[in-house]
Chains A and B, each alone.
Chain A
């Protein structure tokens, strides 16, 4: 049962990712990206990363994807029937990415990965919160300032003047 669900989620992620890069309609790409991000959240659940799955859905699906769809809507005429996105260099691009993929497959299956004894940390919220407030306090504060600066910068860039 669990294997079947994992296989279904993996296939969902792969096929919708194909649709994201292949579809000639930008809105279709954005909707396919929605399912890809949901599928990645499902993979996080399989990896016992409950907090990350929730964060993925809230930040990616609820934030970044909505931002991308806003971008699609703001940069195209709404009355055009299909919001087209043309592609170029498809042969060279396919060749390059296939070569990269083959190289990565070789590395993945040739390397003798260090695999632990399979202990599972259940309930990741409390350990993550503790680590963010102790070991990773400085990066946490730095990244929060960076996010604030980036959002102020984005608002300044896109305002009417």
Chain B
């Protein structure tokens, strides 16, 4: 049960659900939640390979820390953009954000 494959399966389920959320959701914040799911699935992979791959050091953990930092930066900038979109367009529906369309 507690093997490398079980963690990989959990992480691939999270990844697929994140892709599903990004593809189907129309609210920008819901899309952001899908991205967080995908980043978490990648983090589970890093840590699981570090644990089971016979590593002598903790490089996978360091990668995960960097991913978490980048996720924080991404969430902050994305929410600032979404709030600006709401101020200018009156909704956060990504299908309606087509002002740049020719």
Contact = CB atoms under 8 A, between A and B. Distances in A.
Interface of A: 2-3, 6-7, 10, 13-14, 17-18, 20-21, 26, 29-30, 33, 36-37, 40, 43-44, 46-49, 51-52, 55-56, 59-60, 63-64, 67-68, 70-72, 74-75, 85-90, 92-94, 96-98, 100-101, 104-105, 108-109, 113-121, 124, 127-128, 131-132, 136, 139, 143-144, 146-147, 150-151, 153-155, 157-158
B26 A52 contact: no
Interface of B: 1-2, 4-10, 12-21, 23-27, 29-30, 32-34, 36-37, 40, 43-44, 47-48, 50-59, 61-62, 64-66, 68-77, 79-84, 86, 92-93, 95
A150 B77 contact: yes
Nearest to B93: A86
Given A13-B10, A48-B51, A100 B15 contact: yes
B19 A17 contact: no
Q: Is the interface of A mostly helix, strand, loop or mixed?
A: helix
A18 B5 CA distance: 21
Given A68-B79, A158-B84, A49 B62 contact: no
A128 B23 contact: no
Contacts of A118: 52, 54
Contacts of A136: 62
B40 to A, nearest CB: 5
A115 B53 contact: yes
Given A21-B34, A40-B43, A43-B7, A147 B72 contact: yes
Contacts of A147: 69, 72-73
B7 A47 contact: yes
A87 B17 CA distance: 14
